[in-house]
Structure 1
């Protein structure tokens, strides 16, 4: 049996078993990433499958996964509908996220000065996006105020899109510093790539959304065909940009924003097939992560690696959140709760795989992959098992707050579409959009 067949059978079997027990596993605080990473570790260590982190098919699956999720998340970005939640969301995204990258850069350079500032900044940007799916209980536990749950989910859905251009530009900078670009200017190369992405986003995501809306208005489409059309638009944004040397991820994210802006609410709700496909593809990435990256990372990790990983999950996240929300009226428990629940997950793993592909097997790349892998692994365990008890404890504290407290003023149900899929909780499916 070849490796591709073995991996396919392993994936299908693992998905089936997990799907049959998803709700019971969720009650035990066992998340989907936990399950599929363990499957990957066991399969890799026992020789059931052999997965190399730099194989072409894995990178393709990872890139498509990120493109689909970027498009679907961005298509639901409707700040007018967020209402009072707009302020804290923008604070976390526009103040907290940049500060996290700055703080992470300082920490990474302090630990590994031999790799330079560009590599330190790349590590920080790779570790900056959060993944609410790793602590699903936080955004599905109704004891936590709906405003806090919604905020964490909105932040998680959008900060990977904001971090993506930073990561891709820094990969180019590191490649330039290591002489991989030759005589090319990294700034010109990055600007050209981003400019192409913007053009593709407008042409595919924007125009495609407008055409789909027109066709729907004239009765040409069906609900199923609309879901397929949205899926096709997401992939077209990515692959069209890549085909003409643009940044496919930026094109997918901006294309999703353009689609969401020009499409109506009914069409924005047609991303379910895109999200589900992206979710299934993410299981492949998690299995490959366990099989190919976890073992080598744990074997090569040093004390400095763990310092960066622990710092990224604590001070590098919590302090920027506290600064971003200063003066907003949140109590210290809320600041700590939001600061702690910034899990690092799928986007970080995919960024590490992309860096490995673009930069090749070098000392800098090994360092990047090890730090990313250890951080994600720690986050899977800490945020997975800690989500439910901490959510319950915080919920009890929040229940003592008056109704006009900043944490409780907004009562709009949280948007938890992707989280609900992983937690197998139908009552938590997206109710807005």
Structure 2
């Protein structure tokens, strides 16, 4: 219990301090996830040894479930933050970024893993699928706050949020395509992928999430008209909606994260403008609280020994992935996206495709499904490098973009 209590103190104090000093920290070219990651490394078994997550249970299960909850909270916050009807009015740009751009990110990451680490192709494509999604958790720290609001057009901030929310949940089929290809003959794997993953888990999540979001919105609207719900109840309502959708989809065997995102969008479209603003503010506060603990946990569980075994191959893979996974595809296809205006915006959005909690979730899910020992070391290395590089470059590059536009 001592270790658990130390963990509570550490995580709680981190959230409190970073919440109070978020603006000065960003001025120092730092980010909340980066500081949380470094704190976890400092307090972990390999440095100070104050906290050992192994005493709390199986580390991979703990990481997967913590990341699942964190991403779900962030997806609900994005769904409530986006303007009403945003996905419909920007459908062309989103189809491009969630279609050819996302597939390119997967193939480039997988091919880089295949060539650099010399592993079987479907193992490489599994790693590529794990690190494909643009993380909604880290992306939220880039597009929010006074620095982003002063230097980035609202249009760009909404676009990065929408893409991070949507491609995070759409990476799930890519991960399971590789998982099934490793477990079954190709014909059997494709059949199960089409029927179970796409029809049941993905389409079922859209339907179930939409129904629950619509019912929740109608109930809240009725309660507000009846004057039986105080404003303080919105915190409980917004938080419980996320948990309800996650639990219901788990029981139904569908994709919970996709259902949360769809449910949040439908819920946003049903409630009134005033309720809309209240729910957005509440969900953003909840998201801030759940944002940092997962990165502290990542720092506590860093697989140092496996990283060192990768040697220089790991370093080369990180550099190739960060430079080529996303930026070339955005520069090439940016002119086709109506939401992206010019090479400058395409370059900014192409660089800021951070890898974080979503990849952490998929890395541990893939480890559980396949038992492959390569997924977690490579996935955690790329995630940590992305948190470091994108965290350090967010403030200066955002200011540089603002000055160049001005």
Which TM-score tier does this pair reach, normalised by the shorter chain? Answer: 0.7 to 0.9
Residue 270 (structure 2) aligned to one of 262, 269, 276:
262
Instruction: Specify the SS of the correspondent of 2:59.
Output: coil
Alpha-carbon distance, 1:185 to partner: 4.3
Q: Does 2:352 align with 1:348?
A: no
Q: What per-residue deviation string (whole Å, max 9, x for no partner) do you get for residues 34-68 of structure 1? A: 11111100111221011246354443322222222
Q: Does 2:59 align with 1:54?
A: yes
Instruction: Specify the SS of the correspondent of 2:120.
Output: helix
Q: Does 2:375 align with 1:390?
A: no
Instruction: Specify the SS of the correspondent of 1:256.
Output: helix
Alpha-carbon distance, 1:150 to partner: 3.8
Alpha-carbon distance change, 261 to 171 in structure 1, aligned in 2, over 3 angstroms: farther
Q: What per-residue deviation string (whole Å, max 9, x for no partner) do you get for residues 389-421 of structure 1? A: 22333333222xxxxxxxxxxxxxxxxxxxxxx
| Structure 2 counterpart of 1:242 | 250
Q: What TM-score, normalized to structure 1?
A: 0.79
30-39 or 384-393, which deviates more: 384-393
| In 2, Cα distance between equivalents of 1:280 and 1:92 | 29
| Structure 2 counterpart of 1:376 | 383
| Structure 2 counterpart of 1:21 | 21
Q: What TM-score, normalized to structure 2?
A: 0.84
How many equivalent residue pairs?
Answer: 391
Q: Does 2:174 align with 1:166?
A: yes
Alpha-carbon distance, 1:357 to partner: 3.4
| Structure 1 counterpart of 2:162 | 154
| In 2, Cα distance between equivalents of 1:69 and 1:386 | 22
Query: For 1:186-205, what aligned pairs fall within 5 Å after superposition?
Result: 187-190=194-197, 191-205=199-213
Structure 2 residue ranges without an equivalent (≥5): none
95-104 or 343-352, which deviates more: 95-104
| Structure 2 counterpart of 1:111 | 116
Q: Does 2:131 align with 1:122?
A: no
Residue 229 (structure 2) aligned to one of 221, 227, 238:
221
Alpha-carbon distance, 1:256 to partner: 1.8
Instruction: Specify the SS of the correspondent of 2:196.
Output: helix
Structure 1 residue ranges without an equivalent (≥5): 400-433
Instruction: Assess if the C-alpha contact under 8 Å between 2:60 and 2:364 holds in 1.
Output: no
| Structure 2 counterpart of 1:42 | 42
| In 2, Cα distance between equivalents of 1:195 and 1:132 | 26
Alpha-carbon distance change, 372 to 215 in structure 1, aligned in 2, over 3 angstroms: same
| Structure 2 counterpart of 1:418 | none
Instruction: Specify the SS of the correspondent of 2:150.
Output: coil
| Structure 1 counterpart of 2:219 | 211
| In 2, Cα distance between equivalents of 1:2 and 1:65 | 25
| In 2, Cα distance between equivalents of 1:146 and 1:297 | 42
Instruction: Assess if the C-alpha contact under 8 Å between 2:40 and 2:297 holds in 1.
Output: yes
Alpha-carbon distance change, 114 to 138 in structure 1, aligned in 2, over 3 angstroms: farther
| In 2, Cα distance between equivalents of 1:161 and 1:43 | 32
| Structure 2 counterpart of 1:367 | 374
Alpha-carbon distance, 1:103 to partner: 2.5
**CA-atom RMSD in angstroms:** 3.2
Q: Does 2:306 align with 1:306?
A: no
Alpha-carbon distance, 1:223 to partner: 1.8
| Structure 1 counterpart of 2:368 | 357
| In 2, Cα distance between equivalents of 1:330 and 1:195 | 33
Q: What per-residue deviation string (whole Å, max 9, x for no partner) do you get for residues 327-361 of structure 1? A: 568443333222112222222222223323333xx
